[in-house]
Amino acid sequence: MDVGRWIIDYVASVVGREADDLDLHEPMEVYDFDSIDAVEMTFAFERTFGREVDPHLILQGDQTVAGLIAELSRPPGACAGS
């Protein structure tokens, strides 16, 4: 399963929008994506991909769907900019 498609579909379902209606460059907070949503998303991601994710990654500053896709598409242990 494609990580990017999964993230887009997951966020769209949580915020009650069509996936094509999401602006991938808007901060997650624009969609009222809160800490409970973030924790639930990390559990779902872990079940789907077998990889742990820190909920703070989802909620950090002005995190966007596009930024989240970029972060979670990296191989486990890879750092941004490496």
Percentage of the chain with pLDDT > 90?
72
3-73 classified as CATH 1.10.1200.10: yes
- Mean pLDDT of all residues in 2-13: 96
Q: 28-60 as b/e, with b when 16 or more CB fall inside 10 Å?
A: beebebeeebbeebbeebeeeeeeebebeebbe
The answer on pLDDT for 74 being more than 80 is yes
Confidence band for 7, pLDDT divided at 50, 70 and 90: very high
- Mean pLDDT of all residues in 39-58: 94
- How much is the pLDDT for 61? 81
The answer on pLDDT for 71 being more than 60 is yes
- How much is the pLDDT for 80? 52
* Token couple for 10: 């997951």
Domain residue limits, the chain: 3-73
